[in-house]
């Protein structure tokens, strides 16, 4: 969520922690940035995006994720956090929930 969660994300990191920003959903300008916390905890912050990456990179990344995650998901060792499940017909409600920042975890749409 980028900017709106900047302070919470920094607070959640332990000493020598790393934070990677992948997108800027929610905004790109954090109102308060306590640089002292970054130094005190020796934090690493970096950013990236997939949008400008070559298709080959995205394919490789998807394959690497599948190799890592699919078996773990099937075995129940890796579990996604599901906030809510909506039928496809309620897509507007699902989007409104996300835009209002009411979800914790993924919002799932089902198609019958």
For the full predicted model, state whether its pTM sits above 0.75: no
Tell me the C-alpha distance between 80 and 106, whole Å: 8
pLDDT of res. 3: 87
- For 43-67, write each residue's pLDDT tens digit: 999 998 888 899 999 999 999 999 9
Q: Are 85 and 110 in contact (CB under 8 A)?
A: yes
Helix (H, G, I), strand (E, B) or coil at 109: strand
Spatial distance between the Cα atoms of 4 and 101, rounded to a whole number of angstroms: 10
pLDDT in tens, the chain (112 residues): 688 889 999 999 999 999 999 888 788 899 888 999 999 999 999 998 888 899 999 999 999 999 999 999 999 999 999 999 999 999 999 999 998 889 999 999 999 8
Looking at the chain, how many residues does it have? 112
């Amino acid at each position: 969520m980028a900017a709106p969660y900047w302070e919470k994300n920094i607070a959640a990191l332990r000493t020598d922690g790393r934070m990677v920003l992948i997108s800027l959903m929610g905004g790109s300008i954090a109102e308060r940035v306590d640089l002292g916390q970054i130094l005190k905890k020796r934090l690493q912050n970096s950013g990236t995006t997939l949008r400008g990456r070559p298709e080959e990179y995205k394919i490789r990344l998807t394959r690497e994720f599948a190799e890592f995650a699919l078996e773990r998901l099937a075995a129940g060792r890796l579990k996604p956090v599901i906030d809510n499940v909506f039928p496809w017909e309620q897509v507007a409600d699902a989007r409104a929930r996300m835009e209002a920042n009411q979800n914790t975890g993924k919002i799932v749409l089902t198609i019958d």
